[in-house]
Structure 1
């Protein structure tokens, strides 16, 4: 089985969103955007994220 490394790029202040929260922490359906990305990465077999 292959092993994959995943790099999640999560940066930005979110100033265009007119919020004090960073972009990746804005909730989508009650969950921060970054959590959705990390959950998707965890669902892929044989991956690890940085």
Structure 2
């Protein structure tokens, strides 16, 4: 998935907003963004955040 496509996908899914992805202190911090995306169900791989 291209970065632009990923951004559109994430922005268009309410589960990421509900998981606080766009909150100050998370948005812009790649480690925190990855953790939120994983917790919101982006990937079913439990090791996703480590990859």
TM range, normalised to the smaller chain?
under 0.3
Whichever structure has more helix as a proportion of its residues is 2
Whichever structure has more strand as a proportion of its residues is 1
**Higher RCO structure (Cα 8 Å, ≥6 apart):** 1
Alignment TM-score, normalising by the size of structure 2:
0.26
